[in-house]
């Protein structure tokens, strides 16, 4: 059964445009473009290579929809696109601003195959610091955030 790329929930509206810099940064081509409300402005990126188990990859791809106004975060995944790429968007729920994005790869768009084989994370993106920003995102803080976010909201154990 093919993986359901658009989940019927509030995060569907966010799943969209794959940022072109991802192609150049991670050496991929023909990434599918869709719409997103607020992608990362001036993203910085780093390679981050590790395997993700099948059940964790499924949870990662299914994302998280806010249940009420107290939920400050949401997550959706675009893809898999050409070459099996996915983009896991961790966004603020009220503004729809993408804060951190994981770039991953799966070998199939079939949910059963993904559950069996898993996938890999190949990179991470975060916003470049703004002038005089009090507590800017860094590569280290972005990775720590992604691991905690995935553990607590997606029930996904990332082990880089």
Q: What pLDDT score does 82 carry?
A: 80
Range with lowest mean pLDDT among 25-39, 42-56, 104-118: 25-39
Cα distance between residue 28 and residue 80, in whole Å: 13
Q: What pLDDT score does 37 carry?
A: 56
**Percent of the chain beyond pLDDT 70?**
77
- Using the predicted structure, report yes or no on whether residue 109 has a pLDDT greater than 90: no
Q: How far is CA 43 from the centre of its chain?
A: 14
Residues in the chain: 160
Q: What pLDDT score does 24 carry?
A: 45
How many Cα atoms within 13 Å fall on the side-chain side of residue 47? 6
* DSSP helix, strand, coil percent of the chain (3-state; round to 5): 30, 30, 40
Using only the alpha carbons of the chain, give its radius of gyration.
15
- Using the predicted structure, report yes or no on whether residue 29 has a pLDDT greater than 60: no
**Spatial contact of 111 and 7, defined as CB atoms under 8 Å apart:** no
> What are the C-alpha distances in Å from 27 to residues 22, 45, 85, 118, 153?
8, 13, 11, 21, 30
E runs forming strands in the chain = 43-52, 73-78, 85-92, 98-106, 119-127
Q: Which two tokens stand for residue 108?
A: 């199939």
């Amino acid at each position: 059964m093919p993986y359901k790329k658009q989940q019927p929930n509030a995060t569907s509206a966010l799943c969209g445009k794959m940022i072109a810099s991802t192609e150049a940064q991670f050496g991929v081509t023909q990434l599918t473009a869709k719409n997103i409300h607020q992608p990362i402005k001036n993203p910085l990126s780093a390679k981050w290579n590790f395997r993700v188990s099948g059940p964790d990859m499924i949870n990662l791809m299914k994302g998280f929809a806010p249940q009420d106004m107290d939920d400050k975060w949401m997550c959706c995944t675009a893809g898999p696109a050409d070459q099996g790429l996915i983009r896991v968007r961790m966004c603020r729920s009220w503004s729809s601003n993408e804060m951190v994005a994981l770039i991953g790869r799966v070998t199939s768009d079939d949910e059963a195959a993904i559950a069996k084989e898993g996938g890999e994370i190949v990179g991470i993106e975060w916003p470049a610091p703004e002038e005089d920003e009090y507590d800017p995102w860094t590569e280290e803080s972005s990775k720590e955030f992604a691991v905690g976010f995935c553990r607590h909201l997606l029930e996904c154990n990332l082990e880089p």
